[in-house]
Amino acid sequence: MDKQSDRVIVIGAGPVGLCLSLVLAQQGIRVCLIEALGDDNFLDQVPRAGTNHPATLELFDRIGLYDKLETRGIIAPLFHYWDRQEGKLIAEFDHIHLKDDTRFPYVLQCERIKIAEEALKLARAHPDIDLRLSTTLTSFAQDADSVTAFVTNSAGEIESIRGSYLVSGEGARSIIRKDLDIEFEGFTYPDRTLNLEVAYDFRKHGYTERNYISDPDEWSNLFHWKGPPDRWRVHFPTRPEETEEELSRPEQLQARLQRFLPIGRDFEIVGWNLYTVHQRVAKKFRAGRAILAGDSAHVNSPIGAMGMNSGVHDAFNLADKLVRILRGEADADELDRYERQRRHVAVQHTQAETIRNKRVLAEKDPAVRKANHDLLRRTAEDPKLARAFLLRTSLIESLREADRIP
C-alpha cells in the first residue's frame, strides 16, 4: 500500500475521534482527522458530558492527556444517592474501595469541551496527524484495498481523501452509519431532559460533587464543574407535552430550582438546554473498512456518565487493533473482535446500567423505592459489596469482561 492510502481517516474531533487519532499517531500510524467545526466555533459547543471514570483516566494518562485535564477539573472520590421526598442522603460511595484496582480511585469532573480542547492541542502538535478543521464528510466509498472519504473542505471545495480505514467518530448523527444502512436499534424516551447550569455551591446543603437524586415525580442529577466561576449542573425530567418555550421561561426555571432547594433568593442560572435521550446501539460496528466508535455506534442516557467514557474505551480498543493490523502483526479479522467486545459492552453494560439507573431514580412504587434505597444503603456500608458496585459503575468490570471475549 502506498503512503497516502496507508493512513487512517478519522471523522470527528470529539473525545472519541481525538483519542483514537492520538493513540494511532503516537504509535507511528498516520492519521487524517476531519472536523466540521473550525477554529472560529470549536469552543462554542455546549460542555456536555463531564464525569470521567477511573478507567478512562488511565487511558487519558497513556496519551499524555490526563495531566492537562487534572488542573481543569475536580477530583471527586465520592458520589451520593439522595431521596428528594425525604430530603435525606441514602448512600455515599467512595472510590477509595477501588484503590487496588486502579491508579485513579476517583472520577475527574471535567467537561467534554475541555477534553476536546486539550486533546485538539495535542493533535495539532503531532506531526503524524493531518488535522482538517472546517471540513465536513459528505460521503465515502470503499473497495477491497482502500477507502475514500469525500469532504467539503474549508475553501468550500469537494475533495477526496484516500486511506486504509475510515473511522466514524462523528457522534450520534453519523453519516457513515446511515450510508452503510446500519440499524440503530433501541428506543427514545418520550420525556426530554432539562439541563440547568447554576452558579451556586450546593455543598453547603450536604451534597457532594456528583449526586443522583431519586423522586417519584421529579428525579435529578446534580454535578459540580470547575470554573471560574464554578458551576453546578442540575438535570430534571420534563413532561412530553411541555413545549420548549414553556420550559425555558426564566420564572419556570427559577421555580423548578426553588422547588428542588429553596434558598430564599434567586439562583443565578448561567445556562440551560433541553435534550432528547436515546438508548440505541448500532446493529454492526463495522462494514469492511468503515468502522463506528463512540456515539456513532451507541447512545444512552447520561445517568451514570457512561456515554463519553465508553466511547473513549472504544477508541483505545480500536486504535490498538488498527496499529497491529497496519504493522502487519494481525489480520483484519481483529476488527470483528473489536465489534464483539465493544458491542457486548454497549448492550450488556452501558445500556443495561443506564436504563436501570433511570428506573431507580424515577421509581414511583413506594415499596420498590424503599427496597432500592435499602439495597443502595447496604451496598455502600459493606466494603466488599461497595467495591463490586463501584467496579461496575466505573466501567472497570466492562473492560475486564471485554478482554475475556475472544
Ligand X SMILES: Cc1cc2nc3c(=O)[nH]c(=O)nc-3n(C[C@H](O)[C@H](O)[C@H](O)COP(=O)(O)OP(=O)(O)OC[C@H]3O[C@@H](n4cnc5c(N)ncnc54)[C@H](O)[C@@H]3O)c2cc1C
Q: Which amino acid is at 327?
A: R
Give the binding range for ligand X (CB under 6 A) out of 74-82, 118-126, 250-258, 294-302.
294-302
Residue 15 lies near ligand X (rule: CB under 6 A): yes
Nearest distance from residue 241's CB to ligand X, in Å?
A: 21
Residue 101 lies near ligand X (rule: CB under 6 A): no
2 close to 25: Cβ distance less than 8 angstroms: no
45 close to 141: Cβ distance less than 8 angstroms: no
Among 356, 334, 339, smallest CA distance to 282 is for: 339
Residue 294 lies near ligand X (rule: CB under 6 A): yes
Q: Which of 77, 171, 186, 288 binds ligand X (CB under 6 A)?
A: 171
Q: Which is nearer to ligand X, 137 or 257 (CB)?
A: 137
Q: Is 215 helix (H, G, I), strand (E, B) or coil?
A: coil
Nearest distance from residue 401's CB to ligand X, in Å?
A: 20
Task: Give the C-alpha separation, 362 to 357, whole Å.
Answer: 9
Give the binding range for ligand X (CB under 6 A) out of 91-99, 141-149, 298-306, 379-387.
298-306
Give the binding range for ligand X (CB under 6 A) out of 8-16, 56-64, 204-212, 361-369.
8-16
Residue 34 lies near ligand X (rule: CB under 6 A): yes
Question: What x/- string results for residues 41 through 70 when contact with ligand X is judged by CB under 6 A?
Answer: -----x-xxx--------------------
Total chain residues near ligand X (CB under 6 A)? 32
Residue 275 lies near ligand X (rule: CB under 6 A): yes
Residue 12 lies near ligand X (rule: CB under 6 A): yes
Residue 295 lies near ligand X (rule: CB under 6 A): yes
Instruction: Provide DSSP, 184-196.
Output: EEEEE-SSPEEEE
What residue has cell string 466555533?
Answer: 41
Please state, in angstroms and as integers, the Cα–Cα distance from residue 24 to each residue in 31, 37, 154, following that order.
Answer: 7, 22, 25
Residue 197 lies near ligand X (rule: CB under 6 A): no
Q: Name the β-bridge partners of 284.
A: none
Give the binding range for ligand X (CB under 6 A) out of 10-18, 58-66, 78-86, 247-255.
10-18
Q: Which amino acid is at 301?
A: S
Q: Which is nearer to ligand X, 153 or 254 (CB)?
A: 153
Please state, in angstroms and as integers, the Cα–Cα distance from residue 403 to each residue in 7, 100, 320, 332, 400, following that order.
Answer: 27, 19, 13, 18, 5
Residue 237 lies near ligand X (rule: CB under 6 A): no
Nearest distance from residue 154's CB to ligand X, in Å?
A: 12
Residues 124-143 that bind ligand X (CB under 6 A): 136-137
Nearest distance from residue 277's CB to ligand X, in Å?
A: 9
Q: Which is nearer to ligand X, 30 or 177 (CB)?
A: 177
Distance of CA 371 to the CA centre of its chain: 30
Task: Give the C-alpha separation, 298 to 101, whole Å.
Answer: 27
For the record, the C-alpha cell of 352 comes out as: 443495561
282 close to 351: Cβ distance less than 8 angstroms: no
Query: Which helix (H) or strand (E) is 280 found in, with range?
Result: strand 278-282
Residue 105 lies near ligand X (rule: CB under 6 A): no
Task: Give the C-alpha separation, 371 to 359, whole Å.
Answer: 13
Footprint of ligand X on this chain (CB under 6 A)? 11-17, 34-37, 46, 48-50, 112, 136-137, 169-171, 175, 273, 275, 294-295, 302, 305-308, 311
